Structure 1
Amino acid sequence: MSLSPWIAALSALFLWWFSTGALLLLVRRADRAGGWAHRQLLIMAVPLLVLGVIGLWQSLAWDGIGGVYVGFAAALAIWGWIELAFLTGIITGPERAPCPPGLSGLARFSKAWGTVAWHELALTMGLLLIVIVSSGAENQVGLWTYVILFVARISAKLNLFFGVPHMTTEFIPRPLSHMASYFRKGSVTAAFPIGITVLTFAAACFLFQLSLAETDAEAATWALLAAMAVLATLEHWLMVVPLADAKLWRWMLPAPLPASQDERPRS
């Protein structure tokens, strides 16, 4: 077997770990700086979005293994910028207050939706635009990468809202501190098996396609997508299995500000 599937899978693993850690590091530093630091960070990251858009466009007609990696990285760049806009509190939603005590049912869901509404719309608009530009393209790895991230993120948010036994809240940035009040710690609901089933099925489909790959480019494509689907599935299982996954990034981040220093004006 060619080494390309293994290289692709390890590349996906590294980029997932590194990009997550980089976003957390940048946002934590902005938290510590206060003031306009969050807005400045997002503006300084605009070249990431531009490179992502250009890379995705260039990859569409590039059917070699280079195009596979460019399309994959481009989708991560676009997704990463939108996520950064969320983590910095710039694109979130109209609701910025903690969940009122005792709120439940549709009223709680409506409030929770208000905390992320604009972010979800931004992610959806990004998906629709990528679907449009990728239509009929030779290389669609960027589209499928974004789709996996999109489905996994929606499923994860729903599970955090409905309830999971384990969750990590220590990395929630200061502008989003109110969102933890909308999370529910408890037994899993129907949202968990549905999310796990969809992601596991996707991973199985990608692995099956990998077994049929005839070229290095095809093998790299399906290995990248399978690795992302497996990682998304693993992230879901970590909501029910008590493993200290936060240690993967905690060592590289500056300590959060003490509570007494965390009352600076929001950026």
Structure 2
Amino acid sequence: MTSPWIAALVALFAWWFFTGLILLVVRRADRTGRDAHAMTLLLAVPVLALGAAALIVTAEDTSVSAVYVAFLGALAIWGWIELSFLSGVITGPEPRPCRPGLSLADRFSAGWGTVAHHEILLLAGLGLVVLITAGAPNHTGLWTYAILFVARISAKLNLFFGVPRINLEFVPSTLDHLKSHLRRGPVTAAFPIAVTLLSFATACFAERLISAETPGRTVEFALLTAISGLALLEHWFMVLPLPDARLWRWMLPAPRPTKD
């Protein structure tokens, strides 16, 4: 498990598996009803607690096993917060579709209203991770969450300003109103800025990986290089005509049929 290639594969599998698991849970709850979403989120609270516990017990440990546990702990915290959003339980105070003809400022205000509570929760999650890992030698969980946080904010901004490809296949019924706040069109300045920053981050982690002097640091920077590279890839999915939905479509039940 000390090989950087194995660590990169672990990051790739974790990205694919946990994304698919969240989509699966949301799709199944979507077929049952809104109450099922709230119950699913409540039942998943132990995942959040385990994620925080993983960061606590590994904060002072930089061994290979501790690095992996911290990485998975950060993903657990992130995953629960994402589940809270996709389930429609923690989103924002604005539940209505975007009205046509709004100015950019009014569109942004309306869009913010649909996700405000979730963004605050994401920031609170970052604060929790910082609080747990502050001054500790194991930074894996902090960097993992920070990469996901920045990449998610960047992705939402790009979806708001405009990108050629928007995959709406996995949007649950609880978030149908969000579709009207997204803009399909040519890329804006937000896209090259985002991919440049993510490319720079990936290169920086790769440089640290090459110069790592201990097995723990090798695994840490291999995981961070892979997860930042995957965040970069997710941005390119908004532009390039790649069938990214096929990665998870096969494992999900059919969506709940709509009533005429």
Q: What amino acid sits opposite 2:7 in the alignment?
A: A
Q: Is 2:220 aligned against 1:221?
A: yes
What per-residue deviation string (whole Å, max 9, x for no partner) do you get for residues 142-193 of structure 1? Answer: 0000000000000000000000001100100111111010010000001101
> Sequence identity of aligned pairs in percent?
60
Deviation at 1:103, TM superposition (A): 1.7
Q: Is 2:115 aligned against 1:116?
A: yes
Runs of 4+ in 1 over 2 A off after TM superposition: none
Moved more, 115-124 or 102-111: 102-111
RMSD, aligned α-carbons: 1.1
Flag structure 1 segments of 5+ consecutive residues without an equivalent.
262-267
Equivalences for residues 87-106 of structure 1 within 5 A: 87-106=86-105
Equivalences for residues 1-267 of structure 1 within 5 A: 4-260=3-259
Count residues with an aligned counterpart.
260
Q: What amino acid sits opposite 2:234 in the alignment?
A: E
- Superposition TM-score, scaled by structure 2 size: 0.98
Moved more, 35-44 or 224-233: 35-44
Flag structure 2 segments of 5+ consecutive residues without an equivalent.
none
What per-residue deviation string (whole Å, max 9, x for no partner) do you get for residues 79-134 of structure 1? Answer: 00011011111110000110012223111100000000000000001112211221
* Aligned-partner Cα distance in 1 for 2:43–2:243: 32
* Aligned-partner Cα distance in 2 for 1:148–1:82: 15
Q: What amino acid sits opposite 1:167 in the alignment?
A: I
Deviation at 1:3, TM superposition (A): 5.5
Q: What amino acid sits opposite 1:149 in the alignment?
A: L
What secondary structure sits across from 2:259 in the alignment? helix
Corresponding residue for 1:265? Answer: none
What secondary structure sits across from 1:260 in the alignment? coil
